[in-house]
Amino acid sequence: MSVRRQQRGAYESFLLHNVSQVTALESSLRSMTYVLPGRFKDAELAGEVIYALVHLLGLYHDSVLFRIVYARQRDSDHEALAGALASANLPKISPHARYTSFWRTTQPRYAAAAAALVTTEALQLLAEMLARRRLGERRAWDVVLAIEALKAVLRFTLVRTSQNRPVITPPLPQREFDPAQLEQQATSAIPLTWRGARTHCLRRSLASLGPRDVYEHLLSCTLTEQDVSPPPLLVRPLTKHAARIAEAVWILRPLLYVALLRTYGRRDLRPFAASLLVECLARTLRQHALVQRDTSLSPPTSSISLWLSVLGIENSFLDWLASVLSTQNATQRPVSTVEGDEWIARNRSLWWYLLRGPVWYRWTRPKLAGFVARTEHRRIIGLLGSVIKEYLPLIDDYYYYSAM
């Protein structure tokens, strides 16, 4: 165990000392996989193998960087990096990272379910490709159905372990800064850090910053309401039955869609229409659960009511109506950027329906095929058209190329 720990510590030290080069290599490999399809036989399979491995390795690197840079869980092997971390102008931890890291550290089941979910999502397309090559069309749909069932179970586990809160995507902290900021400028003649005489804490020296950098550095250190709020308060729990049903419907939606695709096929209208209706139902139930309906109590004074009083308009009905509208608007707004970003992502997922079912085969695909035909003999834009041309049959054949 000690040998394995030493090896892991050595790799983490290597990662932190060469983080810019490692990140550039990851980005280059990911970019290469986007243009591999169609270059040679089974190029899409080779590209997906590379992409899955790089994605999994990137997830591990993200966890290492977050644990050492933000969580400050450094052992003796990482103490030599304290000066570089203190001198780096790193952004403060985001609300999303605070929220997901809180549940990951306090709930072991959440950590296990989140890790299993991101790993499954990284390997799902590769698993579908191998299943369609080795098992055939029918059994490949069984593999996709099993993957979606596993993801649904893991998402329900995340809801349960986060005390009935909706699933946040991604469920683990991500890389939130440029790794090049960790590189210490050794050529600077001005000390980059200073150590407190009593606390012995290492901090960045303001003398090493320019006037503008000092302002930006101090501005980045300011705290907002989200920064001081406890992490569980960044996402509201599902207290109402409508909210719980909405989350359950949203989680089960992909499983229902795949089951209908397995039965009726990808060109049939019924899977597409059912999935779209379920998506809209989940969104409607979520909005319905956020509406404040308890108006029996005296509503608080709102900004609209204050403007009515300033204008000299005294009407109890208008005051009541303005307060109720203000209360509803406040309850329907997200309580944090974590919640708001998740709502935006779920609403934006409706665009994926352009790559599905009859809409794909009758509208989107002909449009893209026409674009490819018009740009085939052009120099620069023709390269984009050739890449799109290679992806058209992949979207036809594989479910996870158009899945959320």
Supply the pLDDT for residue 326.
46
Supply the pLDDT for residue 306.
46
Comparison of pLDDT for 109 and 70, the residue scoring more: 109
Region 331-343 average pLDDT: 85
Supply the pLDDT for residue 279.
92
Q: Lowest-confidence range among 13-22, 131-140, 252-261? A: 13-22
Task: Tell whether the model's pLDDT for residue 71 goes beyond 80.
Answer: no
Q: Lowest-confidence range among 43-57, 83-97, 184-198, 357-371? A: 184-198
Question: CA–CA distance from 142 to each of 138, 261, 319 (Å)?
Answer: 7, 11, 58
Kindly give, in sequence order, each residue whose CB lies less than 8 Å from that of residue 194, ignoring residues fewer than 6 positions away. 202, 203, 205
pLDDT tens readout for residues 88-137: 556 678 899 899 999 999 999 999 999 999 999 999 999 999 999 988 88
Supply the pLDDT for residue 301.
44
Tokens of 143: 């593999």
- The total of other beta-carbon atoms located within 10 Å of residue 167's CB is 22
pLDDT category of residue 303 using cuts at 50, 70 and 90? very low
pLDDT category of residue 299 using cuts at 50, 70 and 90? very low
| Mean pLDDT score of the chain | 79
Residue type, 269: L
